[in-house]
Structure 1
Amino acid sequence: MNNFLKHKLLIVVLCTVVCLPKWARGQAVTPDTTARDLYEVRVTGKTEVTQVKQRVFAVDVLDLKSVAGRNLEINRLLDAMPGIRVRETGGMGSEFNYAIHGLSGKSIRFFVDGVPMEAYGTGYSIQNFPVNSLERIEVYKGVTPIELSGDALGGSINLITRKDLSNYIDVSYSIGSFRTHKAELSGKWRHQNALTFQLSSSYRYSENNYKVWGRTVEVADEFGKPIAGRRYRRFNDDFRAFNVKAEVGITGKPWADALMLGLIGSTMEKGVQTGRTMAFVYGGVRYDEKLFAPSIRYSKKNPKGLSLDLYGVLNRLEAQTTDTSSQKYNWAQDVIAQVSGELNGIRAQKSRYQFRDRNTMLIANTSYALGPHHTLAASYSFNRTNRTGKDPLASAEWTIPFREPQNLSRHVAAFSYQTVFLDEKLTSMLFVKNFGYSARTNVYNYNGGEQKELIPYFSENNSWGTGFGTKFQFNDASLVKLSFESTARMPDGVELLGNGNTILNAPGLKPEKSTNLNTGIAQSFRNSDNKWGYELSLFYRNTRDLIWLGEGDLYGTARYENIDKLRSAGGDLSMRYARKKWLEVNGALTYQDVRNKQRFTASGARSIVYNDRMKNLPSLMANGEARLKYPSAFGSKGDLSFYIGTDYVKGFFLSWPSLGDPATKKKIPTQFLQNTGLTYSTLQNSLNLSLECRNIFDRQVYDNYLLQKPGRFISMHIRYFLHHN
């Protein structure tokens, strides 16, 4: 038995014996369906949003009730939160990357009601998730609670779906620039005998035919000289995605808060317009995928005894990259050459690469109250992906390592002990985590040598992490927090196995390891007419073997790589003010100093970029928004609201800042954007109509390697919400 299997067996046994249920000892269990949190002592009279924000962790909560009726996108909402930077490579459906306090990529994990989203593919990702089905979004920065059973080294984002006790239906539709359409439908029906049916679904489509210009967007004249100053429309960047999640089961029984059978299905197709930079433009490359995932969930929460949450899912994901064009295009959509495929530049060969992922995910969370002041909790998750691939054309050399089977197994186990003292003012938590993975990937010689060989590559690793968090609640309006964690993160499927087109596999990746420290203070004030408050948090990260998507190569592809040592430090400041019910003002500022701390290169030479700022990462970000509300704008028939917001990102270099001439280096310029919108609500807020404009002045917007994002975007949105008690 190898070490990985031994660790898994040990952890399963520990998870089994950590808590004995009351019914196992013949004791009666008193049902309590009012508690919402597995690991916090219930705070009477406080909303769930308040309870989450008062946990020992560095956490922000976005209450979606405050922005209901607007044309919402999760990426855009979270990009406005302090400490978070959402970087996209284009318009709707493009690749995106989250960064929290300098750590980014797969260091940030996404969850839906505590279930990892990583195995659900692009069609059911956070950017396509139906916002109408959500109640709130929780953002944990750095240290993450154990019930989010993943190795989230940089932070976690947990989407909390609506738990309305009443029956409802919520439908919305929006239309916008670049031939963009978005529709969402969600609802719930519960019979008096506890039979419950829930549905959430969304459809998204966009041509993404916005204009691009500037460096790397160049078309040569008849003499081969680039034509300067012209703008060109993207033309192979359309995106279409549909997803649906349906659940049926029993809710609200003494023996179960929920026992639900679920089914997730999604389909997605899109054009691949560019490589890792806009210097590579493709006119015929396509990508599509389909997902089918049945699941089962059981949940019973009882803060005075045993709480249990079990989830299991079997996913089947199929995807295909089609590169069969015989023509090479430029940005003017002219055919400039005859080729054999477009991907991979000079080594392009036609391909129709297909892969199939089989994913198994099991999650168990449990907690047990040892009285009013002590709580034990445990969690365990297991995730295995088996990938098989094929290329019917079998001519493209780059697909060779993807055709043979690859697999990845990961587990995370955690235990925590929480105490509450001083009349619930002082809460502390100690926890320990174990991470492990084993993988089979393939190595292939891309270097053009005479001997090209495909070699299976086997790897495994196991690491432990530990942490501590505490908070002191002076009163309802003031608290301080401190949390610490020494942790690790195993490589995930995309990092190790690639994505089947522009991201190559990286068999030699090592796990990330990091020491994280967070501290913060929050205060709020109010009088009869005004409410205001602030939250200040400071962070420190010392990271080793950071997994980072490398720069694009000469063939338009890239792969993930390790950066040996990285240190980041900084802080967030968020402020809010409200005047009666007609004015709300919010602002946030983030500063992060992320530096390379590797003193020597692999050859032993002194690194010339030691202590340099991290490349391709901003240091200063800010945003703000003011909302004006006009109740009963047209008599008593409806309410009118108006908002205006702004986003600021200080410019940064794509490569190491200390190398080269700053005047000629590639740089993401400083960005300062404005957004505005108008919303009308009527029929007791059941019907909402909104008109919005993002990037009002149509400024050029970049995120990654000069991959330009859309300019001015105008949209109209209608939403109807009907509920019945």
Structure 2
Amino acid sequence: MSQLKFNSIQGHYLVKFFLLISFLLISARSFGQSPGNVSGTILDQSGSPIPGVSVSFKSIKKGTSTNEKGSYELQQLPEGKYQVIFSMIGYQSVALEVQVKNGANIVRNLVMKSSTQQMKEVNVAGRSKTQQANRQAYQVTAIDAKQLHNTTLNLAKALDRVAGVRIRESGGVGSRTEFSLNGFSGNQVKFFIDGIPMDNFGSSFDINNIPVNLAERLEVYKGVVPVSLGSDALGGAVNIITNSGRSNYLDASYSYGSFNTHRSSVNAGYTTAKGIVLNLNAYQNYSDNDYWVNTETQVDQYGTIERVKARRFHDGYRNEMIRFSAGVKGKSWADMLTLGLDLGQNKADIQNGVVMGDVYGARRTSGTLVMPSLKYLKKNLGLKGLDLNISGNFNLGHEKTIDTVNKQYNWLGQVVKDFSYGNSDIKGGERERMLYRYKNNNGIGTINLSYKLNDQHSFVINNTFNTFRRIGKDLLEEKDLYFERPQTTSKNVLGAAYRFDANERWNTTVFFKHYYQRSKAFINITGVDRPSNSDYGWSENNFSTTGYGLASTYFLGKDLQLRASYEHGVRVPESSELFGNVNTLTGNFSLKPESSENVNIGAIYTPAINNTHFFTIDAALLYRYSKDFIRPSLNAGNKYTLQRMVNLRDVDNTGIEANIRYRYKTAFNIGANVTYQNLRNQTKFEGGEGDKQSIIYGDRLPNMPYMYGNLDASYTFRNLMSKGDNLTVGYNLLYVHAYFEGWPSLGNKNEKYTIPEQYAHNANLLYSFAGGKYNLAMECLNLTDALLYDHYKLQKPSRSFNLKLRYFLFNKFK
């Protein structure tokens, strides 16, 4: 049975976590309670919220600004009469008199009229950060994550709704997740948090366990990645922008759902008048993950196979994470300087391997994260327009894999074979006997220097250095010492870019990147199947290569934008691909770097009719031609199946994605997107020109969805019970077309394994009151209880229900 069933130990951790939330809630009251409060919402003449409106109380020199929902709030106001000025470039300023009384909550909503300012000023200042990100020359989609803060989604689930994106999971909460973007997947797509690479954050801090409340917005770069992100991404990147821009806020939530799933999070920030900055992000996840599966399994010791419906019985997961940073901002020597510390831990039962046929009943893993960090920003460094940004972190945590039970389980939780029966001296494990504790110590340092010469010419230089060292120890002391020798890599990516802004309509960026990696490992150097100690030795690889590209955009009008980009991209193998991950992936130290010619052409059209009906139409064409494409391959053994990354010499991909969205005022939203990608093997002669043509030449790559899409709709009833109370009813559909699990040209046509067509229906009900301070959400995922699959037909969770409570307080002082 699961090692992680909800018991007194788990309760102990939850109690500590909830005490932390309670402490912060009480602390919030200290700056939340005041003699008088003034709040409200600012809209334009079409009824849309206006972000960034300055709200100034003249006589006491206090103020704030509206958030992206157009809301503002100012607290701790002494009793009296005040003149409040509302101002925003592109709108007529408004002055109001407000009478504040002790203990009163004053609400002042406002509709601002457009002024005759130049269109350029209006567009830049009145546009949200999410809208600005979407208007870059790069093929990028920006998601306003704040719109999802009342849901129980993690970052992976939020990203799964973006055109071109497919999140592939091996199970429920905390399961292994693979991110796929326009045919590239896994390590081919890089992740960043506030521009800092997430390569070394470990298993305690991953998109499959990070709550969406941590993010302010998500930027998905497709194909070409800006030099400022400093990476060797081949197929794109995701930049998670956190709530660090807020001065004073508190966001606390708790949710409970099916399969005994508990999630809680606290995000808080405070900035003093002297510029001292404090930020805290903490979250917790727990789940038994005991959802139903329909599968074949061995039911007795003689190997009899039957199809059964059973609950997952050994799939518990829990993790806790705290991110804290402290520093200063607004100083002559630093616009921002923070020191941070990330602390995390996780424990996970392993229910199955790479395929459903590999069933475990006792195998498990655990891990910790201890990561100090530094961030430094200085604008106008001795020269106007010259900005310096430095960051660094180092992971001191460790991981552990435990496999000491010499038995074989089936999906009913029964032991079908006991290999130690009658002789306890026979030692083994479910897959491979081990009690292995290892450190993936990984450090990252980045330096970004940007210079804006004038309105037309700007430059960026970025250097990112990454170091990795794995060393482990068999705590059973049953393996030879050569297993404990360190495996190391060091990687450096240097990039430079130049941007030319010809005018308001047209800008172009050209860039250059240099990649270097050195790897060293103690491996089987003779290549024999059953190596002895003498077959092992040190091996070293060195890679050095270059990449380059450009991105350009042109505005045919204020509503129509054209974008085009090209990159010769390069990616060197990651440490997990070279050395394995100890669990489901075995290493391949002979992997070559992969490269790709990436072309993107797209257009965005955003018309509005009578300031009431708003449309967004976004379409893009893509082409990729990859050399030495790195992809997973299955290695089947007698007891289990593992993955191994291999190079495929020539692969191309021609695809299209489209997105359309309609909004009626601020009440009704509906949108849909679809992605088609034709990822094909173009390796005609695997052994060279004189070899026989490959039987899989021209085949679509296996185990890779090639057509999928999303549809979502929501309606908001505003001021339902009282002013500031909103009810939103939402629906979401995810569709995946059927695809082959293996190569289409191999095997009998009638006996091929196919991942069937899938529809996942989700519904939610969100109620927000007191101007968004208190929020209640109810969700149903997989509404029809459909069989959903991923990763070699691994089954995803059955129907589930979730309830979330959220408290949010935002107060930005000037």
Q: Could you tell me the TM-score, scaled by structure 2's length? A: 0.81
Aligned to 1:268: 346
Q: In the alignment, is residue 594 of structure 1 matched against residue 672 of structure 2?
A: no
In structure 2, which of residues 409, 412, 416 is the aligned counterpart of residue 329 of structure 1?
409
In the TM superposition, structure 1's runs of 4+ consecutive aligned residues that sit over 6 Å from their partners are 449-452
CA contact (8 A) 1:317 1:356 kept: yes
CA contact (8 A) 1:343 1:556 kept: no
Deviation at residue 396 of structure 1 after TM alignment? 5.9
Matches within 5 A, 1:165-204: 165-204=246-285
Q: In the alignment, is residue 571 of structure 1 matched against residue 656 of structure 2?
A: yes
CA contact (8 A) 1:525 1:531 kept: yes
Q: Which amino acid aligns with 1:183?
A: S
In structure 2, which of residues 192, 201, 208 is the aligned counterpart of residue 111 of structure 1?
192
Aligned to 2:596: 514
CA contact (8 A) 1:276 1:552 kept: no
C-alpha distance in structure 2 between counterparts of 1:78 and 1:94, whole Å: 16
C-alpha distance in structure 2 between counterparts of 1:244 and 1:449, whole Å: 44
Deviation at residue 65 of structure 1 after TM alignment? 2.5
Deviation at residue 72 of structure 1 after TM alignment? 2.1
Aligned to 2:645: 560
CA contact (8 A) 2:718 2:724 kept: no
CA contact (8 A) 2:214 2:281 kept: yes
Q: Which amino acid aligns with 1:85?
A: R
Aligned to 1:479: 561
In structure 1, which of residues 679, 691, 709 is the aligned counterpart of residue 796 of structure 2?
709
Deviation at residue 441 of structure 1 after TM alignment? 1.9
Deviation at residue 193 of structure 1 after TM alignment? 0.5
C-alpha distance in structure 2 between counterparts of 1:564 and 1:626, whole Å: 43
Structure 2 residues not aligned, in runs of 5+? 1-64, 66-120, 420-426
Q: In the alignment, is residue 124 of structure 1 matched against residue 124 of structure 2?
A: no
Aligned to 1:541: 624
C-alpha distance in structure 2 between counterparts of 1:307 and 1:124, whole Å: 30
Q: Which amino acid aligns with 1:373?
A: Q
Q: In the alignment, is residue 455 of structure 1 matched against residue 540 of structure 2?
A: no
C-alpha distance in structure 2 between counterparts of 1:341 and 1:213, whole Å: 29
Check 1:301–1:694 CA distance in 2 against 1; reply closer, same or farther (3 A cut).
farther
Aligned to 1:359: 442
Check 1:304–1:519 CA distance in 2 against 1; reply closer, same or farther (3 A cut).
farther
In structure 2, which of residues 264, 267, 287 is the aligned counterpart of residue 206 of structure 1?
287
Q: In the alignment, is residue 305 of structure 1 matched against residue 385 of structure 2?
A: yes
In structure 2, which of residues 284, 304, 307 is the aligned counterpart of residue 225 of structure 1?
304
Check 1:165–1:225 CA distance in 2 against 1; reply closer, same or farther (3 A cut).
closer
Work out the percentage of aligned pairs sharing the same amino acid: 32
Q: Deviations over 1:190-242 (max 9, x none)?
A: 1100011001111001111111113xx313357643223x2111111111111
In structure 2, which of residues 329, 345, 350 is the aligned counterpart of residue 251 of structure 1?
329
Q: Could you tell me the TM-score, scaled by structure 1's length? A: 0.90
Q: Which amino acid aligns with 1:523?
A: Y
Deviation at residue 722 of structure 1 after TM alignment? 1.3
Check 1:247–1:85 CA distance in 2 against 1; reply closer, same or farther (3 A cut).
same
Deviation at residue 80 of structure 1 after TM alignment? 1.1
Matches within 5 A, 1:262-661: 262-301=340-379, 305-339=385-419, 340-344=427-431, 348=432, 350-395=433-478, 402-422=483-503, 424-444=504-524, 447-448=529-530, 453-528=535-610, 529-554=612-637, 555-602=640-687, 604-636=691-723, 638-661=725-748
Q: Deviations over 1:12-67 (max 9, x none)?
A: xxxxxxxxxxxxxxxxxxxxxx9xxxxxx994443222221111100000002222
Q: In the alignment, is residue 58 of structure 1 matched against residue 139 of structure 2?
A: yes
C-alpha distance in structure 2 between counterparts of 1:440 and 1:450, whole Å: 20
C-alpha distance in structure 1 between counterparts of 2:482 and 2:222, whole Å: 36
C-alpha distance in structure 2 between counterparts of 1:449 and 1:369, whole Å: 58
Single out whichever of 634-643 and 205-214 deviates more from structure 2. Answer: 634-643
Check 1:165–1:185 CA distance in 2 against 1; reply closer, same or farther (3 A cut).
closer
Q: In the alignment, is residue 89 of structure 1 matched against residue 170 of structure 2?
A: yes
Q: In the alignment, is residue 147 of structure 1 matched against residue 228 of structure 2?
A: yes
Deviation at residue 638 of structure 1 after TM alignment? 1.5
Q: Which amino acid aligns with 1:537?
A: A
RMSD: 1.9
Aligned to 1:10: none
Structure 1 residues not aligned, in runs of 5+? 1-33, 35-40
C-alpha distance in structure 1 between counterparts of 2:671 and 2:467, whole Å: 42
Q: Deviations over 1:70-115 (max 9, x none)?
A: 2222111111110011101111111111111111110010000011
Deviation at residue 634 of structure 1 after TM alignment? 1.6
Aligned to 2:786: 699
C-alpha distance in structure 2 between counterparts of 1:662 and 1:412, whole Å: 46
Deviation at residue 645 of structure 1 after TM alignment? 1.3
Check 1:115–1:679 CA distance in 2 against 1; reply closer, same or farther (3 A cut).
same
Check 1:401–1:330 CA distance in 2 against 1; reply closer, same or farther (3 A cut).
farther
CA contact (8 A) 2:152 2:211 kept: no
Q: Which amino acid aligns with 2:294?
A: W
CA contact (8 A) 2:154 2:207 kept: no
Deviation at residue 343 of structure 1 after TM alignment? 4.2
Deviation at residue 625 of structure 1 after TM alignment? 0.4
Specify the SS of the correspondent of 1:231.
strand
Point out which structure has higher relative CO (alpha carbons under 8 A, 6+ apart). Answer: 1
Single out whichever of 132-141 and 598-607 deviates more from structure 2. Answer: 598-607
Deviation at residue 380 of structure 1 after TM alignment? 0.2
Aligned to 1:27: none
Specify the SS of the correspondent of 1:65.
helix
In structure 2, which of residues 152, 159, 164 is the aligned counterpart of residue 71 of structure 1?
152
Specify the SS of the correspondent of 2:743.
coil
Specify the SS of the correspondent of 2:159.
helix
Deviation at residue 451 of structure 1 after TM alignment? 8.1
Q: Which amino acid aligns with 1:128?
A: N
CA contact (8 A) 1:304 1:371 kept: no
Single out whichever of 645-654 and 602-611 deviates more from structure 2. Answer: 602-611
Q: Which amino acid aligns with 2:366?
A: D
C-alpha distance in structure 1 between counterparts of 2:244 and 2:437, whole Å: 39
